[in-house]
């Protein structure tokens, strides 16, 4: 994973297994508007791939096409080795789709809701009872098994929808904005659930506006803008590709900040970033270069008698990468 380079084609080098999702020059026009243009990317088995982009970037359209609910105008795609157009029933057997809305039947109970979708896959009788029970335990809704669906909170409904998408044990989960509108606790629970599903061997394709959510769970991130793939790669690689200068936080003992600033002024490879904003003990600096240069800077400060409390590299988050990678345009 570490040798993967951030790329704007989204095709990762020679995976061990056939990718669970593969798109090639995928394009979707609504009238004359291109919702998705020349989208080429792959999703590895067992990965959690986040799709990030502003509204109108083409995330939901891409998910609909991969879920067999929308046909592309041009291009090719394969999901779990099947063509979503020609082999839609095969794709549906391997994909669990959670749209960006709940899609629930208010007059059913939680268990009946799962029973209904299980029955659509021919799962009946005792097997269905056991399956529903296990899924409700997995999404922590066991205590709500007999409650009407319309009595559930937003977070619970989202977890129920996730359980619904799992009734046929799909290989790939496509989740469109699953964290939208959830409170912090529900988001944390959702993240934990996604990790659990990944441990169970599921591949997950997820979109979200809450970029920090994705950062914590995603093994790969694709950034879309105006229907096009801007960049794709692991968060670490994207960080390396887009962060440019490395930023460090230096915390010293109280009253030593002027001494540090004076020292740093002597070094041409270091730029102090707005030292007034960080109080009397903290300095943030930017520098380029590899780890040996960072070690040299640290040694330089210590050698000059400055007692350090903290010397930390501030890693660029997905939000930073997103802002640097995109221009704010929509389709």
Partner 1 sequence: MISNPIFERELKERARTVRMPVVLSIFLLLFGCAVWIIVASLTSDAGRVFGATLTGRNLFHWILFFLLLFVSFITAPYASGMIAGERERQTLHLVQMSGMTPRQIVTGKIMASLAWVTLLVVATLPFAAISVILGGVTWTEMVVGYAMVLFCAATFSTLCIGLSSRMKRSSGAAVLSIMLVLVFWVGTWAVFGLAVWAQDDFSPQVRPTWALTLNPLVGTASAIQGRDQGGTDEPNVMRALFFFVHTSKDPSLGFPFALPGQGANPPAPGTRTVPFWVWTAGWYLLLDLLAFRWAVVGVTTPRATFVAGGRRRRRGQLEEAS
Query: Which positions lie near partner 1, rule CB under 8 A?
Result: 24-25, 27, 65, 67-76, 84-85, 88-89, 92-93, 95, 97, 99, 101-105, 107-108, 112, 116-117, 119-122, 124, 164, 168
Tell me whether residue 124 or residue 313 sits nearer to partner 1 (CB atom). Answer: 124
Tell me whether residue 102 or residue 300 sits nearer to partner 1 (CB atom). Answer: 102
Say if CB 231 and CB 6 are below 8 A apart. yes
Least distance in angstroms from the C-beta of 102 to partner 1: 7
Least distance in angstroms from the C-beta of 23 to partner 1: 12
Bridge partner list, 95: 172
Q: How far apart are CA 202 and CA 206, in angstroms?
A: 12
Tell me whether residue 97 or residue 232 sits nearer to partner 1 (CB atom). Answer: 97
| Close Cβ partners of 221 (under 8 Å, ≥ 6 residues apart) | 49, 50, 51, 52, 214, 215, 232, 233, 234, 235, 238, 318, 321
Least distance in angstroms from the C-beta of 166 to partner 1: 13
HSE at residue 30, side-chain half, CA atoms within 13 A, is 10
Q: How far apart are CA 115 and CA 75, in angstroms?
A: 37
Least distance in angstroms from the C-beta of 241 to partner 1: 24
Tell me whether residue 65 or residue 179 sits nearer to partner 1 (CB atom). Answer: 65
Tell me whether residue 86 or residue 254 sits nearer to partner 1 (CB atom). Answer: 86
Least distance in angstroms from the C-beta of 156 to partner 1: 17
Tell me whether residue 121 or residue 311 sits nearer to partner 1 (CB atom). Answer: 121
Least distance in angstroms from the C-beta of 178 to partner 1: 14
**What is the CA 318 to chain-centroid distance, rounded?**
9
Q: Count CB-CB contacts under 10 A for residue 203.
A: 25
């Amino acid at each position: 994973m570490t040798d993967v380079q951030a790329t704007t084609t989204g095709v990762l080098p020679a995976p061990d297994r056939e990718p669970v999702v593969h798109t090639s020059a995928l394009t979707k026009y609504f009238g004359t508007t291109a919702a998705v243009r020349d989208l080429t990317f792959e999703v590895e088995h067992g990965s959690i791939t986040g799709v990030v982009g502003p509204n109108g970037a083409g995330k939901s359209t891409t998910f609909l096409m991969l879920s067999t609910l929308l046909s592309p105008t041009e291009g090719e795609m394969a999901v779990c080795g099947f063509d979503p157009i020609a082999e839609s029933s095969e794709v549906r057997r391997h994909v669990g789709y959670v749209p960006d809305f709940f899609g629930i039947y208010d007059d059913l109970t939680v268990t009946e809701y799962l029973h209904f979708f299980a029955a659509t896959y021919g799962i009946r009788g005792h097997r269905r009872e056991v399956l529903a029970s296990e899924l409700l335990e997995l999404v922590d809704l066991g205590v709500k098994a007999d409650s009407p669906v319309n009595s559930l909170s937003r977070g619970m409904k989202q977890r129920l929808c996730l359980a619904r998408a799992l009734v046929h044990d799909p290989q790939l989960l496509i989740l469109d904005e699953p964290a939208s509108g959830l409170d912090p606790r529900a988001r944390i629970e959702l993240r934990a659930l996604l990790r659990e599903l990944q441990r169970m061997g599921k591949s997950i394709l997820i979109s979200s506006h809450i970029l920090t959510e994705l950062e914590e769970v995603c093994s790969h991130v694709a950034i879309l803008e105006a229907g096009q793939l801007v960049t794709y790669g692991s968060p670490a690689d994207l960080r390396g590709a887009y962060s440019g200068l490395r930023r460090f936080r230096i915390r010293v003992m109280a009253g030593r900040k002027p001494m540090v600033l004076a020292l740093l002024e002597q070094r041409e490879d270091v730029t102090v970033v707005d030292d007034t904003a960080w109080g009397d003990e903290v300095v943030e600096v930017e520098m380029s270069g590899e780890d040996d240069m960072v070690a040299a800077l640290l040694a330089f400060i210590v050698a000059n008698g400055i007692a350090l409390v903290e010397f930390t590299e501030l890693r660029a988050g997905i939000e930073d990468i997103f802002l640097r990678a995109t221009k704010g345009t929509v389709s």
